[in-house]
Structure 1
Amino acid sequence: MNHEPSLLKQLKLWHIVVIGLGYMAPMAVFDTFGIVTESTDGHVSGAYAFTLIAILFTAISYGKMVKAFPGAGSSYTYAQQVLNPSIGFLVGWTALLDYLFLPMINALLTNIYLSSLFPGVPKAVWIISFVVIMTIMNIFSVHLTVSFGTLLVAFQILVAIIFIILSATTQGQELSFKPFISESASISLLLNGAAILCFSFLGFDAVTTMAEETLKPEKTIPKGILIIACTGGALFITVSYFAQLLFPSASLFHDLEGASAEIAYKIGGQLFQSIFVAAALTSTIASGLVSHMSASRLLYAIGKDGYLPRRIFGYIHPKTKTPVWNVVIIGGLSLISLGLSLEKATSLINFGALIAFSSVNIAVFIHYFIHQNKRSLSGYISYVLMPLLGSLFLFFMWLNLEKTSLFIGIVWSVIGIIYLLIVRRKNTITIPTFHFD
């Protein structure tokens, strides 16, 4: 009998929703607002609505795969089980770009917010403090992390609601559909915005790494994924709508990248601007907590199978029931942000996310339609049409991927192939078996 410690099943639906929304960071809607206003010619809400509809197809694909394979590895596990173990490893390897660098991005954003309030404090102080706190909190039980994250997410949503109320009551012009559609709008403009906003929805996929710690994951995770995507999307659309009424053109901003501060000041003056900055800071902390958590679980899944040293990456602490060494490793890697700019760190996550999304849509088609022969009318819709629509949107994302992301992603993939060839000779790989009802 196996007496080794394992991840503890304890998460319920509301835990999953909090983790996903924390990862998604509701206040992120303001970070890209100025840039997307310019790229969509004042149709940010329309771009968000288009992106939500398009990304839902991939979100549904994740829900279908976690029903079949409720493991901690997310896209790594699905590709490993359906496509090929080696392909699964490479999917997990490339997905690590997304999972490893998001904690660094949150560290950099935290530094930006705190440095604006305390300009005399060195950058290293904020980044190191942030990383240490995230690491310590993730070492302890998941319940502690999620409970603290709940408060942070609730505060963000509260500030977003206050923003909506203030903007609705102080609006100088009547409500209109212009933020969604107008005579100057076009599909190409909405696609331009979607190319940027697509990554605002990262979070629904991250919760699948928590499947082994979730009660009835085959039911809970799919529900959570839809709630996360729809709640986040509805919040993004509503907030951007009222912000767009205030700032219908990018020319009204002095600084496109710093548009959030200008929006907050116009709505509620310096007081609300201070509250707004506090909400933005809690956004990075909440996202930092859950991105750290999900990255450690992906490493655990890969390590447990033997692709990485099991004694370290497959280790679960007997008391905390968390992958302690992975948590510490993620913390150590996050310190790389001391030498990175926000722009460079952001460009590193997109390749891994697109690989993961694409592989999951392919896995749905192969697992259900090919392997399980589900070829009724509903089967064609669920397992062919829907993943195909999700893949078509992702194809557009691939076409708009930054050259830096593409180059780094290819180099990282080549390193992964070389590592795979070496590790399969030396290590004993154990592919997990899932039992179906």
Structure 2
Amino acid sequence: MADKADGTHRRTAPNGKSATSSAANNDGMAKSNGFEAQVNGEQQNDKEEQWAMAKAVAQTTASEWLLILSLIFGGCCSNAYTLELATRQLPSAGTLITFAQFFVTTISCVPHFVTFTPLPTLKQRNVPLYRWIVQVAFYFSTSLLNNMAFAYDVPMPVHIVFRSGGLVINMILGYLVQKHTYTKLQVLSVLLVTVGVIASTLDSASAAAPTSPSEPEVSAATYLTGVLYLFSALVLTGFMGVWQEKTFKLYGNQNWRESLFYSHLLSLPMFAIRGKTLWADVLEANTTTKWWFGWGVPLIPAPTAKKGLSGLLQGLVRRQRPVPVRLFDLSRLTPHSVRQSIRLDPSGFWVPSFYPPLLLNVATQLLCINGVNRLTSKVSSLSVTLVLVVRKALSLFISVMIVSGSSGSLSLWLGAAAVLLGTIGYSISKPAASPAKTKTS
């Protein structure tokens, strides 16, 4: 019986070893299957996200698309056009323009983030305040630098093309800070953008030379200072993008309106640093050509171009030597027979010509911001980038062909085309493959 038992034991021992080996193999297969299931699950999630995005786009009605595209192409292009109209009259008014934009944008967002009962109080934030404070430092600096560059004879086409060169900074920061990898098409596209920016900048620098002895000469140092401002703003914009991307990744991209509100609200106290410059801009704006808005032709000439409010008041109480004026007579909109029967005395008001373009610029900026954010909530960032690239190309056309009244040089258009092609190439390129995941047992 003992021998029999031993024999049985000897026979079952190998089977026990085989069972242990089989269990180990099963465990390995389970882990392998678990990894494959994880990969398949991630692929399934990607497909679900793509389907959800396609479904969201399909649910967007034609009227919504018409509204979004009208806000972007109408609002953003008009914003660039009115900005150029204002800066052509007063190139040094960058601080005043920036303050007006920030103030009105803040006021427009107040109903969403302030409760007025029983006392005005800020609503609870979804994002910590320090995240917005850092973003404000970037945003305020870039806006101020971009607008200040107009005082250094940097034309609007260079502004448009230069801002389109942000891909270069984004790629460098993405590689150094975020450890991103890029494809050959992406690198080639960025090189195209770089060449386009340089070509357009150099072309405008040569065009800035005076065409007649009576025109003031623009020094190379002045122009390069303006370009340096634009470049600094471009770098800060890149860092702001990295910071904002991380903020939305941590707290969700549905907080874009909160970002808009706090980035403008927290910037307003910073204008105290440039209070003297801001007041000087207001005084200079008051000296621009006077426009008459009212019924009939005014009997009192426009006040003389004297700085400050006193000049305006003085012109209203006594006759002064007229300055260049422009009349907007509303009576011209009515039939002659109606004007003869009414016979109203002329009534209206004078306004410095700088303020109407400024008012339109602030209003169109609100439309532009609204359209871009609506588009961002509907489609992918790729589609947003493509739409904005086309918008920038249209703004460049308006600036060169309509505002400046010229056809533009070959170098400028080649540079703009390089920026456009480079931006589109970067947008349509597939992201570089991420490092393969390794199996762990």
The question of a shared fold, defined as TM-score above 0.5 by the shorter chain, is answered with: no
User: Greater strand share, 1 or 2?
Assistant: 2
User: TM-score, length-normalised on structure 1?
Assistant: 0.29
| Higher relative contact order (CA closer than 8 Å, sequence separation 6+) | 1
Q: Name the TM-score, length of structure 2 as normaliser.
A: 0.29
